[in-house]
Amino acid sequence: MKRVALITGGTRGIGLGIAQALAREGFNLAVCGLRDESALADPLNTLRSMGAEVLYCRSDVARRDARDEMLAAVRQRFGRLEVLVNNAGIAPKERRDILEATEESFEQVLRTNLQGPYFLTQAVARWMVEQKKADATFAGCVVNVSSISTTVASVNRGEYCISKAGVAMATQLWAARLGEFNIPAYEVRPGIIQTDMTAGVKEKYDKLLGDGLTIQRRWGTPEDVGKAVASLARGDLPYSTGQVIVVDGGLTVQRL
């Protein structure tokens, strides 16, 4: 029986790259997003053409009722869930210096990027423990997609950086709590990835990348991140719970 993965924000950008990588690994998929399913024919058909059974859930991870409905739909469709990938995230609607940033923006970003995934993981972890107790061979894991903004300060989007730093600690917390059940939790930390979220700063980063901002002088791709998540979902690093996989082309390597 095929294993099942839930990828939040799985219909575009990094999330779609992850979904495609897991489809190639033979997973059935539940993906969620904010858009109506009628607007997602291309990505969903692509995933299905790769052999995956795909459930799309229109769900806002910042809302508890939406998270509950999404998990109920996954239970009804598949009856199982082995892998949770917390990928959904937003940037501030307007980049503002932290001297000028608003509480409204802070609350919105943290609800989506940190609070929502934290409590989605809580609900999924309870289900995974239930599955493990019913079947000792159950092999599940949690993968949190964060950002180099976990440790690299951007003073014009402080709320985003803080949300991702929180995700890093949440990964360690879930790793520690789920260890007794042998359910690992990992963090995948992307760098500068070419997606619709970074399209507005493409010219800026084209120059920076060309000037050596990263050791590998190119944009990262959703496929790069997808390959990292797929290795974790396959179980390639079974004795590394709580660890960080950095996918940044060497950007955060200190150099003289």
Active-site positions read 160
Sign (positive or negative) of CA dihedral 111, 33, 35, 63: negative
φ, ψ for residue 84 (rounded to 5)? -110, 125
Collapse the DSSP code of 188 into the 3-class scheme (helix H, G, I; strand E, B; otherwise coil) and give the result.
strand
DSSP letter string, 17-76: HHHHHHHHTT-EEEEEESS-GGG-HHHHHHHHHTT--EEEEE--TT-HHHHHHHHHHHHH
Q: Which contiguous run of DSSP H or E holds residue 178?
A: helix 158-178
Burial 100-120, CB ≥16 within 10 A → b, else e:
ebeeebbebbbbbbbbbbbeb
Give residue 231's region: left, alpha or beta (phi > 0; psi -120 to 50). Answer: alpha
CB distance 247 to 189 below 8 Å = yes
Collapse the DSSP code of 143 into the 3-class scheme (helix H, G, I; strand E, B; otherwise coil) and give the result.
strand
Q: Which contiguous run of DSSP H or E holds residue 205?
A: helix 202-210
